Structure 1
Amino acid sequence: MAIIGHTPSLPDRPVRPVRPDRDPPQEDPVSTLLEAPRSTETGLALADLDQAWDCLIDSEGHSTEAGQRAGRHQATRQARAEGLALGFRKGIEIGARVGFFQGFAQVWLDALSATSNGRDSLSARQIKARKILGRLEALARSFSSENMADQDVVNDLHAMESKFKACCSLLKVPTTTLSPSVVSW
């Protein structure tokens, strides 16, 4: 219990004097915090507030980066799935179209050869149609079933379509009922 007006006595052992040339100054963390500029609103040291804001800003950046990585990964997976489905549908569509042209050419070539016992029984239109049907069948057979980067699929399909329409015109077959887009299996 302290007595009022009494000064404390000095310690029994001597205090070592501080020599500035030999002893580096020791930072007292408490005095550093006490001397640091403080916010008038919260009473916290401004260094602590800056550190807290930096942590929040870094957290936002890390969250954004993680979200972007996850988004790119999800978009890549989704794009692959959509690409596979689209490629599958288009492959079936193109294959059905080429198969239709090939089947059309084969059936008509067989029908024309069955009706003709020689060249005399075929009309000039049928002879011309037979040549075009041969070219159409050759185009359809040469169409690759593999995914070829150097093959111009659109031009090959247009060539088959034009030969198909020419044959239908020569054979007087209505194209509206035989179009590959109308025929359903």
Structure 2
Amino acid sequence: MAFSPVSPELEPDINDIFDCIALSEENVVASAYSEGFAKGIEDGDIEGFHLGYHKGSEIGHELGLSLGTATAWITLLGGDHLSNNSKKVLNEKTVKILNRIVEEVEAFPSENCSSVNVSQERDKIIALHKRVCSLLKSKDNKTMKNLPSF
């Protein structure tokens, strides 16, 4: 069998050629839409990651400051290294608030959970921190005021 240059199998159908010409704009639009959609998802994920990372860092800083302050005061309360003259006598209310700050920070969710309102929990801890700083007449309360909030 000899090969002929014009074979019915290799020759495109004229209707397919016209369809290709007529639908070329739609094909380009569909292709560009798919490409743009994929790029948008990728860019949105990156932007969302950075936003979450920075907000998480701010929350971590606030919680760390509250936990550190509470832990330091609790440690100083039970510390034998201070002389009796320099020990501050703290009332029971202040000690309860300090312990509550530690409990609240330790109970703070470390992963995103839709059942917990993270902003409300954060605000509760900051309010406790400000309250204990006020009772202790501490300058840490001013430090919390300078923190960025969202």
Q: TM-score, normalised by structure 2?
A: 0.72
Larger Rg: 1
> Paired residue for 1:122, among 57, 82, 89?
89
Q: Say which structure is richer in helix.
A: 2
Query: Could you tell me how far 1:130 is from its partner in structure 2?
Result: 1.2
Matching of residue 78 in structure 1 with residue 78 in structure 2: no
**Any residues of structure 2 matched to 1:1-185 within 5 Å, and which?**
56-114=21-79, 122-123=89-90, 126-174=91-139, 175-179=141-145, 181=147
CA contact (8 A) 2:62 2:126 kept: no
C-alpha separation between the residues in 1 aligned to 2:22 and 2:132? Answer: 72
Unpaired runs of 5+ residues, structure 2, are 1-16
Alpha-carbon spacing, 1:84–1:98, altered in 2? closer, same or farther (3 Å)? same
**What count of residue pairs does the alignment treat as equivalent?**
127
Alpha-carbon spacing, 1:178–1:62, altered in 2? closer, same or farther (3 Å)? closer
C-alpha separation between the residues in 1 aligned to 2:125 and 2:64? Answer: 11
Q: TM-score, normalised by structure 1?
A: 0.59
Q: Percent identity?
A: 30
Query: Could you tell me how far 1:76 is from its partner in structure 2?
Result: 0.7
Equivalent position of 2:4 in the other structure: none
Aligned-residue CA RMSD (Å): 2.6
CA contact (8 A) 1:132 1:167 kept: yes
Unpaired runs of 5+ residues, structure 1, are 1-50
CA contact (8 A) 1:109 1:130 kept: yes
Give the match's secondary structure for 1:181.
coil
C-alpha separation between the residues in 1 aligned to 2:83 and 2:104? Answer: 24
